C-alpha cells in the first residue's frame, strides 16, 4: 500500500502536442519525475500551427533546441492587407534591427518536424517517460496528490499518481472537463477553410511575394508564406456553404483558381474550422492545471495560437519547479491564471479587432474600414509591427510597485565574451536575474548592494556598451540594453525565468526596496485567489 505523500510522478502531463512537449522537456531539464501521455501514437503529419515569435524561440534556445529546430524555421514575411478595390491599406511587419530578443521577431515553421524535435528533447531526459496511445479516463484529487485512471492501447486500465496534473490535451480537453473548468465565450465564431499546398518551384512566381490579407467582402482570404514551398490559404466560408463539402479537392482548387491550378502543386491539407474566441474561467482546480488550447482558443489572424500555449507552459513550469522543490508555497500557482488569462483576453481582443476588420462582409462598411485605415496612416497604408500587438503581463507575480517596464519582456543583447559574441542568456543563464546599467558611476556600489541584499538563487550582472570601458561589466555589442534602460528611465531590473520583468528600479533606494521585496515574495505567498495583484503579496515567515 502506498504511503501518504508517495507518488509515481511529480507531474503528469496529458497531451504531447507542442505545449505538453515543452512543459515535459522543461520539467525534465529541471529534474522532475514526469509522465506525459497522449491518446495518439505519433506526431500529426500535417501542419496546423505555422507561426512562432522571438519570445518562443528564446525558450527553445534556452532548452538547447535552437540548432535542431532552425532548419524547419524561416523569417515571417510582412503581411499586406488589401481593401475592397485591391488597394494596400495596412502592412504588419517586424520591428527593425537590432532585434530586441536577439532573434528574428516573427517566424514561420513546419509543425510536424518541430513537434518531433520537441518530443525527442523531452524524452531525452531519464526522468521523463512518454506513453503514447494512452487515454485519460478520470482524475481523483487527494490532499497531496492526484490519482489518474488510464487506459492503455490494449484496453487495460491502471492508475498512476502525481503531485500535479497538467492538461495540454486540446480544445476538447478531458482534463478541463474532469476538473470542472468552464469556458467563457469571447464572442467570435466564424467558419473558415484552411488549405496548405506544397507549391511547385516553377509556380511560386504566380503567388504574392509576402503574406497577405485580401479583405474582400465577397470572400475574405488570408495568404501565408510558410517554410520552403509551403503556402497556406485561410478562406472564409459563406452562409449556406457546407464545411465538409468545401474540403473536397475539387472545391478547394476552385477556390485557389485565382492563384494556382492543380498542376502547380500538391494539396497537403484542407480542413474546415470554426475560428473561436474562448478562455477558461479558471486554469486551476487544486492540483490540476490546464494550458494551451485546453485553456483558450483564439482566431489565427496574427499567428499567436501556439505561441500562447507555449507561454502557458513556460509561465507555469518555473512556478511548479519552485513548489515541487519546496521553495515556494503551492499558492504561487494561483498567479498562473491571473497572469495568463488576462494576457490571453487582451491579446484575443486585439486579434478579434483585426479579424472583424478582415471579415467585414458589407461593402459599404468595408470601404469605410479602408478609408479609416489609410487615414490612420496619414494617407498611406498604416504600418504596424506584430510585436506591438502582444501585450505585457498586467498583474500576477510582479512587483507591487508599478515601475516602468514591469511585466514586459526583458531584452536579450549580444555580449562580447572571449573573442566571440553570444546572447545574454548563454552568458548568465535563464533563471532569476538582476541586470544593472553598467554605465553608471555608482555601478560598483549598486553591485555591492545587490550582493549583500540579494537571494542566492538570483544571478547578477552589470551590462554596458562595448566601448564604454566599464571594469567587470558584460559588454553588449549593439546597445540594445543601454537603449532599454534609457527609454524606461531605470537603472536595474529583476527578471523572471520566463523573461518577464518582475520589477525595475530608478535609483539605489528603489533597488534596495526591490531586492527586499523579491526576497519576501519568493519565500512564500498567501492563499488568496482573487485576481487583484494585491492578493498575491508574499509575507515573510518568521
Count CA atoms within 13 Å of residue 344 on its CB side. 34
Tell me the three cell numbers of residue 356.
472583424
CB atoms within 10 A of CB 282: 18
Say what the pLDDT of residue 95 is: 87
Residue with cell 529541471: 30
Q: Given pLDDT bands bounded at 50, 70 and 90, which one contains residue 201?
A: very high
Instruction: Find, among 138, 190, 196, the residue nearest to 165 by Cα.
Output: 138
Place of cell 535563464: 430
Task: List the single range of 239-243, 481-485, 517-521, 537-541 with lowest mean pLDDT.
Answer: 537-541
Residue 224: Cβ-neighbour burial (10 angstroms; 0-12, 13-18, 19+): buried
- 9-76+105-183+279-355: CATH topology is FAD/NAD(P)-binding domain (3.50.50)
**Same fold? 9-76+105-183+279-355, 414-536:** no
- The pLDDT value recorded for residue 538 is 23
CB 196 within 8 A of CB 269: yes
Average pLDDT for 149-161: 98
In 3D, which of 392, 412, 439, 404 has the Cα closest to residue 514? Answer: 404
Per-residue model confidence (pLDDT) at position 524 = 63
pLDDT in tens, 385-420: 888 889 999 999 999 999 999 999 999 999 999 899
Residue 530 has pLDDT above 60, yes or no: no
C-alpha cell at 2: 502506498
DSSP single-letter state for residue 228: T
Res 525: pLDDT: 46
Q: What is the pTM (predicted TM-score) of this model?
A: 0.92
Distances from the Cα of 65 to the Cα of 355, 421, 466, angstroms: 33, 19, 28
| CATH fit for domain 414-536, picks 1.10.3470, 2.40.10, 3.40.30, 3.30.70 | 3.40.30
Highest mean pLDDT among 23-32, 353-362, 522-531: 23-32
Q: How far apart are CA 310 and CA 202, in angstroms?
A: 36
Q: Which sequence spans correspond to the domains of the chain?
A: 9-76+105-183+279-355, 414-536
To the nearest whole number, what is the mean pLDDT of the chain? Answer: 91
Task: Note whether 491 and 511 are within 8 A (CB).
Answer: yes
Report the alpha-carbon distance of residue 306 to residue 309 in Å, rounded: 5
User: How confident is the model over 72-119, as pLDDT tens digits?
Assistant: 999 999 999 999 999 999 998 988 899 999 999 999 999 999 999 999
pLDDT of 534 higher than 60? no
Amino acid at each position: 500500500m502506498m504511503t501518504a505523500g508517495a507518488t509515481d510522478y511529480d507531474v503528469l502531463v496529458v497531451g504531447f502536442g507542442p505545449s505538453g512537449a515543452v512543459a515535459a522537456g522543461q520539467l525534465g531539464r529541471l529534474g522532475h519525475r514526469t509522465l506525459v501521455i497522449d491518446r495518439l501514437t505519433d506526431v500529426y503529419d500535417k501542419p496546423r500551427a505555422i507561426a512562432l515569435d522571438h519570445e518562443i524561440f528564446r525558450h527553445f534556445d534556452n532548452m538547447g533546441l535552437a540548432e535542431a529546430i532552425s532548419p524547419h524555421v524561416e523569417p515571417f514575411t510582412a503581411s499586406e492587407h488589401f481593401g475592397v478595390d485591391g488597394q494596400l491599406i495596412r502592412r504588419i511587419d517586424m520591428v527593425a534591427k537590432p532585434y530586441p530578443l536577439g532573434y528574428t521577431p516573427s517566424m514561420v515553421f513546419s509543425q510536424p518536424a518541430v513537434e518531433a524535435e520537441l518530443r525527442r528533447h523531452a524524452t531525452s531526459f531519464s526522468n521523463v517517460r512518454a506513453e503514447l496511445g494512452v487515454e485519460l479516463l478520470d482524475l481523483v484529487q487527494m490532499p497531496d496528490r492526484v490519482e489518474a485512471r488510464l487506459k492503455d492501447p490494449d484496453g487495460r486500465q491502471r492508475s498512476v499518481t502525481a503531485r500535479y496534473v497538467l492538461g495540454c490535451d486540446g480544445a476538447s480537453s478531458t482534463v478541463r472537463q474532469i476538473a470542472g473548468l468552464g469556458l467563457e465565450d469571447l464572442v467570435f465564431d466564424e467558419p473558415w477553410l484552411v488549405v496548405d499546398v506544397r507549391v511547385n518551384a516553377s509556380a511560386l512566381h504566380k503567388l504574392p511575394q509576402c503574406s497577405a490579407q485580401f479583405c474582400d467582402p465577397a470572400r475574405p482570404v488570408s495568404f501565408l508564406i510558410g517554410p520552403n514551398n509551403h503556402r497556406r490559404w485561410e478562406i472564409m466560408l459563406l452562409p449556406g456553404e457546407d464545411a465538409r463539402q468545401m474540403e473536397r479537392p475539387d472545391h478547394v482548387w476552385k477556390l485557389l483558381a485565382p492563384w494556382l491550378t492543380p498542376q502547380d502543386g500538391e494539396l497537403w491539407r484542407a480542413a474546415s474550422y470554426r475560428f473561436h474566441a474562448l478562455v477558461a474561467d479558471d486554469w486551476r482546480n487544486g492540483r490540476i492545471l490546464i494550458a494551451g488550447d485546453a485553456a483558450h482558443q483564439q482566431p489565427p489572424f496574427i499567428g499567436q495560437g501556439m505561441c500562447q500555449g507555449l507561454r502557458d507552459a513556460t509561465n507555469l513550469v518555473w512556478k511548479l519547479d519552485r513548489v515541487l522543490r519546496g521553495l515556494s508555497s503551492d499558492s504561487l500557482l494561483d498567479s498562473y491564471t491571473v497572469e495568463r488569462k488576462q494576457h490571453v483576453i487582451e491579446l484575443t481582443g486585439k486579434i478579434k479587432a483585426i479579424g472583424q476588420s478582415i471579415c467585414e462582409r458589407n461593402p459599404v462598411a468595408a470601404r469605410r474600414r479602408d478609408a479609416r485605415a489609410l487615414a490612420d496612416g496619414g494617407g498611406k497604408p498604416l504600418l504596424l509591427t506584430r510585436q506591438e500587438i502582444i501585450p505585457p503581463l498586467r498583474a500576477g507575480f510582479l512587483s507591487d510597485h508599478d515601475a516602468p517596464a514591469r511585466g514586459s519582456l526583458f531584452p536579450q543583447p549580444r555580449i562580447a565574451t572571449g573573442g566571440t559574441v553570444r546572447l545574454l542568456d548563454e552568458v548568465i543563464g535563464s533563471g532569476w536575474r538582476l541586470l544593472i546599467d553598467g554605465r553608471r558611476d555608482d555601478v560598483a556600489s549598486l553591485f555591492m548592494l545587490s550582493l549583500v541584499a540579494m537571494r542566492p538563487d538570483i544571478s547578477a550582472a552589470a551590462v554596458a556598451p562595448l566601448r564604454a570601458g566599464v571594469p567587470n561589466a558584460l559588454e553588449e555589442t549593439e546597445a540594445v540594453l543601454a537603449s532599454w534602460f534609457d527609454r524606461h528611465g531605470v537603472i536595474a531590473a529583476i527578471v523572471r525565468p520566463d523573461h518577464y520583468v518582475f520589477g525595475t528600479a530608478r535609483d539605489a533606494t528603489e533597488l534596495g526596496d526591490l531586492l527586499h521585496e523579491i526576497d519576501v515574495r519568493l519565500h512564500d505567498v498567501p492563499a488568496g485567489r482573487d485576481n487583484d495583484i494585491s492578493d498575491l503579496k508574499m509575507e515573510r515567515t518568521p
